[in-house]
Chains A and B, each alone.
Chain A
Amino acid sequence: MAFDAQPTRKFNVVGTRVTRPDGVDKVTGKAAYGADISAPGMLHGRILRSPHAHARIVSIDTSEAEKLAGVKAVVTGADLAMPEDADFADVAINCLARDKALYDGHAVAAVAATSKAIAKQAIRLIKVEYDPLPHVTDVDAAMKPDAPVVQEGRALENVPAGMSQNVTTYCKFGHGDLDAGFAKADKIIERSFKTAATHQGYIEPQACMASLGNDGRGEVWCCTQGQYMVRANCAAALGVEESQLRITASEIGGGFGGKTSTFIEPVALALSRKSGKPVKIVMTRDEVLKATGPTISSSMDIKIGMTKDGRITAARGELRYSGGAYPNFTVEMGAQAAFAAYDLEAVETIGWNAMTNRPKEIPYRAPGAPTAIYAVESVVDELCQELGLDPLDVRLMNAADKGTLSSYGPTFNDIGLVATLEAAKAHPHYTAPLSENQGRGLSCGFWFNFGGNTCVSLNINDDGTVGVVEGNPDIGGSRASISMMAAEELGVPYDKVRTVIADTSSLGFNDITDGSRVTFAVGLATIEAARAAIKEMCRRVAKIWDIDEDAVIWEDGCAKPAGPNAGTHPPMTLAEIAAIAGNTGGPIAGHHEVNADGAGVSFGVHLCDTEVDPETGAVKILRYTVFQDAGKAVHPDYVEGQMQGGAVQGIGWALNEEYIYGEDGRLQNAAFLDYRIPVASDLPPIETVILEIPNPGHPYGVRGVGETPIVPPLAAIANAVSRAANVRLTELPMSPPRVLKAITG
């Protein structure tokens, strides 16, 4: 669906900062999150987890737990089906292990009891005999041919023979003659980088309540980024038909990609099926950190050549990602994104994924891109330092633009990178003075964005209000933006529209809320649904006026006669048409189903000032500005919020957050006390500059904004810290001990 040919269109609702529909409920505690759902007779579920990084499960004796008063059901992996599809099977095995525990925290059994205390007591009575196996948690170690094998036989057909069985994915992208390119360079820098796994850090732990009868009919209420995904995973894991499961998404206390998979819902359903009662499971923070997906950990080598005046002549990257104990393809996204900001004659990126004894990786905003771009932008910055060049001018000189053959294959159409860089250059932040021990860092960022499968139903109510039903949990303000686009298209006030999130039985399939897709794809479908409703309203009015349908137009929320033969009729408002819908043919609604494409890629530029304490290695963020091509910003508050949130999460990733494993392969810091996410006192105000370069693939020019903001911070901060400390930092997080070690050598 192309951008509307209305270059002078004046928006009335879109682009304003209307009141968010969920605000009052959230600040008053009325909003119902996953753990808030209860039912009569409900049991409490609790999961027993492996204390070993890698172990064969010899036996599980549940008899003592079953005898405990109040225990109504105990389940193990044997109570779940084994789906034929590898992806579904991985989810089921991750929910409850079968023959092996693959990481510290892997679920091995679960109980349902009449109280939380009894459930907690009962899991201690389950006797699991483990045969501990050698483990590996580091990606480089996992790729060695003699590394302990996490799972056998999972490598794809394109992985070269002779590698460790942990290596499951290989990819390669690029074009041009690298040797010739590097030969033209005046300066070549080659560096290796490592980044720690980080968690999405949502405040609300996974929680669900589930009910499943022996007839195969069930219900689940849960916090998720995709109720249809939960339905599919649960149906496969329980061996029931999707039509028999109804999944309702609760309010969600953060997701950031981390709630795009299933961890507890199949377990709760299995316990419910066995006990005949509804079962609630609420994960603890310890469980969330140990057993729900963090992002990848990485090891990367980057080599870039540059001329004296700043032209990049060739670039090569090799990325080694670990997505935990299961195969995944995140490295493909990282490898494609790594050099996307640059117009390069010669570029090559190679990517590997290796399994390790860590929890299953789950996407985290722009999965794979932040780490790859951190490494690339660090080397570009170091080249600028070595050659005495302005880092922003160098990026402008090499920036991808319309007509650039991208590093991942296609030729770019209209993109906003140059405009974003120019906005950063013109901003006072870029030339503000710095003091001793302070440094300024810059980074570009890129993300693909996509659309996906989407259903929307739009109902014209008889009182002249409008109901929009969509199927994507609202993790970033989508109910407001969808209502705004419906109001804009229909020509009614925003407060006359209410958007709700449907359960899986009330609306057709929708992809997960991911890929920065919802405002783009659901918005597009909403506009089309509104246009369908408008067409029907015009048809009804044409009947009333006894004129041709083509002689009725929709303008300012009214049907009006148009054309020389339409006659003179007073406009009819939406409310007037709705009030007599029963007389003119019945209820009026519009709907639209689409697999939306044309989301349009997105670029951002981040500027960061830091101060490094040379005595402690502590880093303070002094100033931070985000510039991003957002397409049309439907609700600027939410767009700015996405930009600020990405920057803040990136600050945590860059400075403090990391999964720390001991020699025994166990996670050492499974609590927010030791896994340190940024808090308000760590942060300066995050300034934002929105550039609205219309996306030609959307009628209003909307493009995704949710993921791009987490891509540049790692490098922007690393470059600022490296300049402030006068030493190149090559490992994340840049925690005080690591920075101090770099300073003191």
Chain B
Amino acid sequence: MVRVKLWGSLRTFADGEEWVEVEASNFKELLDALAEKHPGLAPQIKRGVSLALDGVIYREAWFTKIEPENEVILMPYMVGG
């Protein structure tokens, strides 16, 4: 199981939970599992999210491996100028 932290405004769609546990070994599996467990998160996931893994931010890398001991934080999709 992987524990993933949701940012504040997403928690409404996850029964108010800050941390959600899902079965996943990579970024894609994590997103799929989140959308399945909490369908209210699906629109945001479809628009795009980033993932911080032990402090390193990934924007789209589906197959980035995730281990149970990793700190996993869901973040909005990064944009810049």
Contact = CB atoms under 8 A, between A and B. Distances in A.
B80 A158 contact: no
B58 to A, nearest CB: 4
Contact of B8 (A174, A200, A367, A412): A174
Given A412-B55, A697-B56, A158 B10 contact: yes
B43 A156 contact: yes
Interface string B64-81: 100000010111111111
B54 interface: yes
B55 A410 contact: yes
A188 to B, nearest CB: 22
B57 interface: yes
A157 B43 contact: yes
B3 interface: no
Interface string B26-49: 000000000000001001100000
A719 B52 CA distance: 33
A409 B40 contact: no
Interface string A343-376: 0000010100000000000111111000000000
Nearest to A601: B57
B76 A171 contact: yes
A516 interface: yes
Contacts of B71: 410-411
Contacts of A170: 9
Of B13, B44, B74, B75, most A-chain CB atoms within 10 Å:
B75
A333 B79 contact: yes
A595 B60 contact: yes
A257 interface: yes
Given A170-B9, A172-B8, A174-B8, A515 B79 contact: yes
Contacts, number: 106
A171 B7 contact: yes
A173 interface: yes
Contacts of B61: 595, 597
Interface string A444-461: 000111111000000000
Interface range on chain A: under 10, 10 to 19, 20 to 34, or 35 or more? 35 or more
Contacts of A364: 81
A700 to B, nearest CB: 17
B56 A257 contact: no
Contacts of B52: 409-410
A517 B55 contact: no
Contacts of B73: 409-410
A332 B79 CA distance: 9
B59 A452 contact: yes
A598 interface: yes
Given A157-B40, A411-B55, A366 B7 contact: no
Contacts of A599: 57
**Interface on chain A toward B: helix, strand, loop, or mixed SS?**
loop
B5 A515 contact: no
Given A333-B78, A365-B81, A515-B79, A448 B57 contact: yes
B59 A363 contact: no
A653 interface: no
Contacts of A174: 8
Contacts of A318: none
A333 B80 CA distance: 9
A36 B78 CA distance: 34
B5 to A, nearest CB: 6
A697 B55 CA distance: 11
Nearest to A363: B81
A251 interface: no
Interface in A363-410: 363-367, 408-410
B8 A330 contact: no
Contacts of B80: 257, 363, 366-367, 447-450, 514-517, 707
Nearest to A594: B61
B76 A597 contact: no
A597 B8 contact: no
Contacts of B60: 595
B28 to A, nearest CB: 13
A297 interface: no
A13 B56 CA distance: 29
B3 to A, nearest CB: 13
B81 A450 contact: no
B19 to A, nearest CB: 11
Nearest to B59: A450
A495 B31 CA distance: 47
Interface string A579-597: 0000000000000000101
Contacts of A367: 79-81
A449 B80 CA distance: 8
Nearest to A415: B55
A413 B57 CA distance: 11
Interface in A158-173: 158, 170-173
A198 to B, nearest CB: 12
Contact of A158 (B12, B58, B78): B12
A510 interface: no
A228 interface: no
Nearest to B10: A158
Interface of A: 156-158, 170-174, 200, 256-258, 260, 329-330, 332-333, 336, 348, 350, 362-367, 408-413, 447-452, 514-517, 595, 597-599, 601, 697, 707
Given A411-B55, A697-B56, 14 more contacts: A172-B7, A329-B79, A330-B79, A362-B81, A363-B81, A409-B73, A449-B80, A450-B57, A514-B80, A514-B81, A597-B57, A597-B58, A597-B59, A597-B64
Ordered nearest first, which 7 A-B pairs have the shortest CB separation? A257-B81, A515-B80, A172-B8, A363-B81, A410-B52, A409-B73, A413-B55
7 contacts: A158-B9, A329-B79, A332-B76, A363-B80, A449-B80, A452-B59, A597-B61
Interface of B: 5, 7-10, 12-13, 40, 43-44, 52, 54-61, 64, 71, 73-81
